[in-house]
Amino acid sequence: MEILYFAVLLLTVLLLAYNRVSLLVAIAIMVSLTVIWTELRHLFYVPSWFRFAHGIIAVTLLGFAIKPLRRLLISDRLFSLFRKAMPKISSTEQEALDAGTVWWDGEIFSGRPRWRSLLKMPAPALSDREQAFLDGPVEELCRMLDDWEICDTWRNLPEEVWEFIREHRFFGLIIPEAYGGHGFSAQANSAVVMKLASRNLTAAVTVMVPNSLGPGELLLHYGTEEQKKRHLARLASGEDIPCFALTSPAAGSDAAGMTDTGVVCKGMYQGKEVLGLRLNWNKRYITLAPVATLVGVAFKALDPDGLLGGERELGITCALVPADTPGVEIGNRHMPVGAVFMNGPTRGTDVFIPLDWVIGGRERIGQGWRMLMQSLAAGRAISLPALGTAGGKMAALLTGAYARIRKQFDVPIGFFEGIEEPLARIAGRTYRMDAARDLTLVALDEGHRPGVLSAILKYQLTEGNRVCINDAMDVHGGKGIITGPSNYLAHAYQAVPISITVEGANILTRSLIIFGQGAIRAHPWLLKEMQAVSDPRPGARRSFDRALFGHVRHVISNFVRALMLGLSGGFATRAPVRGPTATYFRQLTRMCAAFSFVSDLVLITLGGRFKFKEKLSGRLADALIHLYLGSAMLKRFEDQGRPEDDLPLLRWAMDDSLYTIQESLVGVLRNLPLPGVGSLVRWLIFPLGRPYAQPSDRVGREAARVILSENEARDRLVAGVYQSDGDDPAGQVLHAFHLVVASANAEQAIRNALNEPVTFENYEPLVQRAVESGVITEEQATLVRLAQQAAREVIQVDDFPRSRIEGFEEPAFRPAVGTG
């Protein structure tokens, strides 16, 4: 009986913590229960210790609710300790933390995500004008692009392509119509880049860069009205080709460590002496630099003579410099692997510019890093994720088709279990990538600027592209490794490192940015604590007290939630929907609580040392990444009306994500520098053992079959990429795939009746015999013949005359166009 009462008391406390009841409500509940149990003792036995315990808990909570008392006894004593223990944040780190907004990442860190708010977000949608642009100019531009000729013959876009891009204002996707651009949404911007990337990476990068981090976006958000009028219309029309010079030889990932300078001085401009900046820069890896007519430059502004009346070191600043300005050196090229988009170094020597060439004018001097971080918080979620998703979609589209066309042992190779595995990975990962891309774009168009989620998207979708392309190469075998016009994978395979490296190298992004900044930025209390202990004002201790006890309540609640959700297998929480996804909502809620608790445990135990624990940070980043990806997939499934034929893709991807979250958290706990703590916490969050496994063979088979046949789930998966109906290599594969699927029943009928498989060598006599014996119709015979002919064409690879290879001379670069 005593044990039962103890269990009731414990359950009461756990429920209060689980539901994050406020202190005042908890006190009222415990006082009420004390009174109730005291009255009930007249009806049946109620131990005195049980009633007394309720009162003690109420009094203890009351002590915590009295703020002057808890400050005197606890928070004021910890204030100085926290001030010493908290890691120092540099000014550049602070500006990165201040960039963007917190959105669903905050819900994940809360440990208690509000699913209904996510499900209320709009579904992805394009306007009629945006869709017309995709169906018209973008489709036409894709038809103009020949990947082999661009990359291996001309090493440049043909001049007619440059002219088409200008004519249809592809450089003005994000520029408002009032300035001559299209004023498209983030979703439309991404859709354009994705479709172009599915055809030719060089064209996609050429279009995406002026619409990403660079002069156009910086001008829109920070430029003066005069600067907007002067530059935006010329940028939208392609009259000016922009580039933005940030990376220097001495400063790659550490962009704030650049040595490029701009010294405030007086100089001559248009025949008059004006106050300006004398710039010296040396930049590399700058996309569009060889053809740029307008150069955006980031540099450190210095004012040694105090001409602006303030500090001598003013900070990173961004300016726009016409390429024909004296001292500007431009024109050489780098050659990125697998692509030939214009990229190269740019230098400036004693380049004098007036102050009004600074983006935003004189008032924006020293604010360049903040401007770049704010722009990156949104832009990083658009362009490179579009490239990554395009790679996944094309891998699914063409590899599924090829695996159905190509036969070995008289069976399509896609039906072998060894091939099913990479096909399932391609299909499942592409589903996950596209879901995350869509959700983040909707958030951007709703006004959010989720810096942490943008970093997740850039990292995960470029990594997902790498896996999909590698798997596609494995499935294609020899077809994928012989170069030539008919190889539609080689350039995508070669170019994979480009998106992995740019806009924040993926190793850095995973090990430092995603969780390192996410924990501070998106955690409900950590940043408030850090701000309080670094605040010299008298009210800082009160702010610290509120943040500290909010954090304590947060940790206790997530500890209890992780334990109770673990013991119940996730069923201690309610899913926002019914049906096949309900269990996934519950499991993600469970893992959010576990992730949040483990995150706090790591941060509390390591303090400022965590800044140097990049392996732990990387594992926590993996968990955070897949919590977001899982959320995006569930949202996508609901947005699309819960299509049953998408369930194999959803199940494969969700099972894979849950398993990754689990193993990431276990990896963190196994490597905690506190002996025994990791094992104890692992038991608390996984009390019944590890619940998640990698996707089963059955689920993998079902996911693979989605891309091995013509069906609506496949159509949804690959929607948005260019699907050629012409005689180019990709068009040949899709044409052959359609014929092979359409003729499958007739081929099987021939095999059953004549006891002989249909092959390239014997199909003519077999088909004729089958028609004559009435096994198939003449119409079916025509399908089989066409399918065999098309399949034979698809599996061919290119060969070249020995004279061309042995005496091969590099073609001269075409003259650079786009010089205004």
Q: What is the pLDDT of residue 318?
A: 94
Q: H or E stretch including 254? A: none
* Annotation marks residue 793 as catalytic: no
Q: In this structure, are residues 181 and 192 in contact, taking their beta carbons and an 8 Å threshold?
A: no
Cα–Cα dist 799/154, whole Å: 20
Catalytic-role residue among 95, 130, 217, 503? 503
Residue recorded with tokens 């070995």? 408
According to DSSP, the residues that pair with 351 across neighbouring strands are 279
Q: What is the CATH number of the domain that holds 270?
A: 2.40.110.10
Q: Is the separation of the CB atoms in 511 and 615 below 8 Å?
A: yes
Rg (CA), the chain: 31
Establish how many alpha carbons lie within 13 A of residue 426's alpha carbon, considering only the half-sphere containing its beta carbon. 34
CB atoms within 10 A of CB 98: 14
Expressed as residue numbers, the domain containing 689 is 95-121+385-712
**Token duo for residue 784:** 């089989």
Residues 375 and 389 in one domain: no
Report in angstroms the alpha-carbon separations of 735 from 468, 731, 751, 776: 22, 6, 23, 22
Partners of 320 in beta bridges: 296
Q: Does residue 396 share a domain with residue 277?
A: no
pLDDT at residue number 815: 43
The CATH number linked to 646 is 1.20.140.10
Instruction: Select from 358, 379, 400 the last residue of a domain.
Output: 379
Residue 721: what residue type?
V
Q: Is residue 238 part of a domain?
A: yes
Q: How far is CA 731 from CA 161, 192, 204, 315, 405, in A?
A: 21, 20, 19, 52, 14
- 3-state SS of the chain: helix, strand, coil percent to 5? 65, 10, 30
Q: Is residue 143 part of a domain?
A: no
Q: What is the pLDDT of residue 816?
A: 45
> Does 193 reside within a domain?
no
Count CA atoms closer than 13 A to 283's CA, side-chain side. 31
Whole-angstrom CA distances from 192 to 2, 173, 496, 722 are 69, 9, 20, 10
Sign of CA dihedral 66, 67, 68, 71: positive
pLDDT of residue 292: 95
My answer on whether 596 and 460 are in the same domain is yes
Task: Count other Cβ atoms within 10 Å, centred on residue 748.
Answer: 12
Picking from 379, 401, 424, the residue at the C-terminal end of a domain is: 379
What was the pLDDT predicted at 73?
Answer: 84
Asked whether residue 404 is domain-assigned, the answer is yes
Coil, strand or helix at 706: helix
Q: How many CB atoms lie within 10 A of CB 6?
A: 14
Q: Quick one: 513 and 649 in the same domain? A: yes
Characterize the bridge pairing of strands 343-354 and 272-287. antiparallel
Residues 748, 618: one domain? no
Does residue 538 share a domain with residue 580? yes
Same domain, 479 and 543: yes
* DSSP H helical ranges for 41-158: 48-65, 67-70, 76-85, 91-98, 104-110, 115-119, 128-133, 139-144, 147-148
Q: What is the pLDDT of residue 531?
A: 82
* Nearest by Cα to 212 from 587, 487, 503: 503
Is the residue at 637 inside a domain? yes
| Structural domain count, the chain | 4
pLDDT at 764: 92
CA distance 407 to 417: 14
Q: Is residue 23 a part of any domain in this protein?
A: yes
Residues 638, 645: contact at Cβ < 8 Å?
no
Identify whether 80 is part of a domain.
no
Query: What's the predicted TM-score (pTM) here?
Result: 0.93
* Helices first, then strands: H and E counts in the chain: 36, 9
Distance in angstroms (rounded) separating the CA atoms of residues 462 and 139: 24
Do 362 and 417 fall within a single domain? no
How far apart are alpha carbons 453 and 518 in whole angstroms? 9
Give the tens place of pLDDT for each residue, 684-714.
Answer: 999 999 999 999 999 999 999 999 999 999 9
Domain check: are 348 and 492 in the same one? no
Instruction: Determine the angle formed by the axes of helices 23-40 and 2-18, rounding to 10 degrees.
Output: 160
Instruction: Please indicate, yes or no, whether residues 745 and 677 belong to a single structural domain of this protein.
Output: no
List strand residue ranges (DSSP E) for 288-438, in order. 294-302, 313-322, 328-329, 343-354, 407-408, 411-412
pLDDT at 38: 83
* DSSP string over 753-770: HHSS---TTTHHHHHHHH
Q: Are residues 367 and 409 in the same domain?
A: no
Which residue numbers in the chain have pLDDT < 50?
813-820
In a domain, 767, yes or no: yes
Q: Which residue intervals of 91-158 are DSSP H helices?
A: 91-98, 104-110, 115-119, 128-133, 139-144, 147-148
pLDDT at position 540: 86
Q: Are 372 and 398 contained in the same domain?
A: no
Assess contact for 188 and 133: CB atoms under 8 A.
yes
- Where b means 16+ CB within 10 Å and e means fewer, 103-114 reads bbbbbbbbbbbe
